Structures are given as C-alpha cells and as structure tokens.
Amino acid sequence: DSGVTQTPKHLITATGQRVTLRCSPRSGDLSVYWYQQSLDQGLQFLIQYYNGEERAKGNILERFSAQQFPDLHSELNLSSLELGDSALYFCASSVYGDYGYTFGSGTRLTVV
C-alpha cells in the first residue's frame, strides 16, 4: 500500500456520461497530481493541485476538471465521455524534496 488511495478501482460507463474519480493523498502530502495512461498515448500529466489550488496544467481536455478539497483529497471529473477516454487514471502525491511522486493504484475507466 503506497498510502495514496484511489477509488473506484474499476469503472464501466457509457459514452456521454459523467464520472468522478477520487484520490486521497499520503498523509502530509499537500500536492496531488492526476495522470492518464492509455495504450497509445503512454502516461500523460493532466493537472496538479497544491493545498487546494491549481498549480500546473498539462494535456487536460476541457471536458475534464479537477479540484482539491480542504481535507486535501482530490476529485477528477470526466464528462461527455468518449470511447477514447478509456484509460487508467492515476493520482500521485508528493512532499517537497528528493522523493519523487507516490502513485495510487489507479482507476481503470472503460467507456462503452
């Protein structure tokens, strides 16, 4: 157990629907990062939050949004889902310093 908790582990939904992925960072980590990993695109950075504020944005679609709450957990909202959004979505957290990022076990999203 890495200490980063992601729920749900698996999600199957239909095109056009909206889903919410949840992430709880490791105790003490203020930063949360979201990534998408698909077979054809590899691992892609989506967005980072630090202590409730958005800090960095990557290749995140406008249909996707995220937020970090006062208790530091984060949610990634995916709307108007398309087949191409099927992927593994990872959350990671970090503490400042030479420690890299700790990843959660991911949410596998399948859009049918």
Q: Which residues contact another protein (rule: CB under 8 A)?
A: 2, 31, 33, 42-45, 48, 50, 55-58, 90, 98-106
Smallest gap from Cβ 16 to another protein, in A, equals 28
Which two three-digit tokens encode residue 60? 């995140």
User: Which of 80, 110 has the CB closer to another protein?
Assistant: 110
> What would the two tokens of residue 73 be?
């957990």
CB of 80 to another protein, least distance (A): 25
Quote the least distance from Cβ 107 to another protein, whole Å: 11
The closest alpha carbon to 34, from 14, 64, 1, 70, belongs to 64
Q: Could you tell me if 25 and 93 are in contact, meaning their C-beta atoms sit under 8 angstroms apart?
A: yes
